[in-house]
Amino acid sequence: MATEKFLQQLIKNPDRLNDLVEEAKNVAFEHGLIMHTPDSSEVVTYVPFALFPSPMPKAALLQAQAVQTHFNTLVDKISRDPVFLEEALAGTIQADDFTARLFGIYRQVQLEGRTQSIVVGLNRCDYMVDRREDSLKQIEINTIAAAGFGVFDCLPRMHRKILKSVGLLEESESVQDRQQTPTMTAALAKGWELYGQENAVILFLVEDVPLWKINHRIIENDLRNRNIPVIQRKFKDVCTRGSLDGDKRLFIDGLEVAIVYYRYGYMPYNYTEQAWDARLLMERSMAVKCPDISTHLAGTKKVQEVLARPGVLEKFFPEQPQAVEQIRATFTGFYTLDMGPEGDRAVAMALANPDDFVLKPQREGGGNNVYGEDIVRELQEVKSDKRRAAYILMDRVRPRIEQNILVRKGLPIKLTSVCCEVGVHGAYVSVGEEMVFNETHGFLMRTKSIDQNDGGIKAGAVCDSPLAV
């Protein structure tokens, strides 16, 4: 490809390369591809990015987008199936304290009776293209705080500008667009409309040190342009100033809450006992949750493993064999580590060939998975007790290897062998069994050095745009 040839030439001219990187940083600031720094709410920097868009097979992009509305439906069906969730997570909640705390809230809500039939889901399915088969393989489903829209929508514009500035006009036209924010906020707007109180607010539940505050503001502004009031609060605010009335309507600071949109709350360190109390208060309320606790649990790694078992998808799509086929085509191998003969076989398999697998705990946010010899150390410690059920085992995907230049503070500017993970966003709104909004739009790509295991932005990857080939 012309971009690869250009990169080979560019790396031989350090002055030209440094000038282009500086130009790209300026374009990032110009288009708003920015985030707060961890140490100051008054200082911003550019979001880490790949200097050029990375190639991705067009067929894989189309496949990922085509199947997303089926995944939206699947997640919603799982969230409304207490028998499935109870059975799927039975071993996990015995081994993993965090999942157990979430499931405890879920059980309490179920016992009291679900107060709100409306669900808003903003999901993201992440994939890699396995180079051995040139096939799309799903890495995970994110059902809470799925990032990748807002400020990220401007990334294709930045990449087109850089490509045009170096004369790669044809490539600039192959960069995939991604105006995802209007689609994602449309689902929040629909949920707010269905709640039916025009003075009620959408509450963004945010972290104490919001690196992505600018990103949140862009999403908020889109909602405000629809005349929907939005507030930001933290767990401690909800706990100390939130309450339920006799009809279980949620109020905070005197404002009725129509939707709780969780931008936080997906990792154990997000929670104090006060935060757990706040989560329970919100889940018991009449407010629409994005996601509600059952949808949060539907995105666990254990559920992903159970879905890959023979016959499971058919239970959720009994008369839709095409949907089952499309979903199953994205699965790689998954193996239970629950106690028993099947789990024992998976442990033995991983210990014999650790480089062929990924050991995945029930965690989100990047930096959590276990690889290579670390799998051996981890499994040797837990192989004979129930703690191993806190993990699942997955075949390791061997992604396509490309060349690019990663622009990230502290990284040397050099040509790097990289691999890419593409995410597809889905947005849906359901009322009981009826899906009233179900859409998908655009792509998020994250690119990392092949020497790096985890693909989260916080873990060291950079944002990228797919160049359809």
Query: With 90 as the cut, is the pLDDT of residue 3 above it?
Result: no
Q: What is residue 211's predicted lDDT score, i.e. its pLDDT? A: 75
Nearest-angstrom CA–CA distance, 445 and 122: 17
Distance CA 391, CA 302 (A): 8
Residue 284 main-chain phi, psi, to 5 deg: -80, -10
230 backbone dihedrals φ, ψ, rounded to 5°: -130, 140
Beta-strand runs (E) in 105-170: 118-130, 135-142
Q: Is 264 a residue whose pLDDT tops 90?
A: yes
Q: Are 249 and 256 in contact (CB under 8 A)?
A: yes
How confident is the model over 350-375, as a mean pLDDT?
A: 92
pLDDT greater than 70 at residue 156: yes
For residue 431, tell me if it sits in a domain.
yes
Considering the chain, what is the average pLDDT of its residues?
Answer: 94
Structure tokens at 219: 């999403």
43-52, 160-169, 175-184, 277-286 — which is least confidently predicted? 175-184
* Residue 202 lies inside a defined structural domain of this protein: yes
Query: What's the CA gap between 411 and 406, in Å, rounded?
Result: 8
* Confidence class for position 212, pLDDT limits 50, 70, 90: confident
Residue 112 · residue 36 · CB < 8 Å = no
**Does 39 or 172 have the greater pLDDT score?**
172
Beta bridge partners of 405: 415
By C-alpha distance, which of 445, 451, 449 is closest to 47? Answer: 445
Examine residue 341 and state whether it is found in any structural domain, yes or no. no
Q: Given pLDDT bands bounded at 50, 70 and 90, which one contains residue 104?
A: very high
Q: Which residues pair with 129 in a beta bridge?
A: 136
Instruction: Provide the residue range defining the domain that includes 75.
Output: 2-332+397-468
Within a domain: 382: no
Question: Whole-model pTM above 0.85?
Answer: yes
- 382 contact partners, CB below 8 Å, separation of at least 6: 388, 390, 391
Task: Give CA–CA dist 417/402, Å, rounded.
Answer: 6
Instruction: Give residue 368's identity as a one-letter amino acid code.
Output: N
The C-alpha angle with vertex 241 and arms to 260 and 42, in degrees rounded to 5, equals 75
Buried b / exposed e along 172-193 (16+ C-beta atoms within 10 A): bebbbebebbebbbbbbbbbbe
For residue range 391-413, list pLDDT tens digits in order: 999 999 999 999 999 999 888 99
For the cut 80, the answer to whether the pLDDT of residue 16 exceeds it is: yes
Q: Which residue has the higher pLDDT, 26 or 365?
A: 26
Q: What is the CA radius of gyration of the chain?
A: 22
Q: What is the pLDDT of residues 225-259, one digit of tens each?
A: 999 999 999 999 999 999 999 999 999 999 999 99
pLDDT tens for each residue of 44-80: 999 999 999 999 999 999 999 999 999 999 999 999 9
Q: Is residue 255 part of a domain?
A: yes
Confidence of residue 455 (pLDDT cuts 50, 70, 90): low
Handedness of CA 188, 193, 195, 199 (dihedral sign): positive
Is residue 354 a part of any domain in this protein? Answer: no
Which tens digits make up the pLDDT trace of 126-145?
A: 999 999 988 999 999 999 99
Cα dihedral 313→319→320→321 (10° resolution): 70
Where residue 5 falls among pLDDT bands split at 50, 70, 90? confident
Q: Are 283 and 276 in contact (CB under 8 A)?
A: no
Residue with tokens 């006009």: 169
* Start-end of H helices in 308-428: 312-316, 321-328, 341-352, 373-382
Assigned token pair, 208: 């104490």
Helix axes 341-352, 373-382, angle to 10 degrees: 150
First-residue to last-residue Cα distance in the chain? 9
Written as one string, the DSSP assignment of 251-283 is EETTEEEEEEEESS--SGGG--HHHHHHHHHHH
The whole-number pLDDT of residue 101 equals 98
Average pLDDT over residues 260-288: 97
Domain annotation covers residue 232: yes
Tell which residue, 59, 134, 19, has the closest CA to residue 405.
19
In a domain, 155, yes or no: yes
2 confidence band (pLDDT: 50, 70, 90): low
Number of domains in the chain: 1
- Band of residue 122 on the pLDDT scale cut at 50, 70, 90: very high
Report pLDDT for 288. Answer: 98
> Please, which residues have CB within 8 angstroms of residue 323's CB and are 6 or more apart in sequence?
70, 73, 317
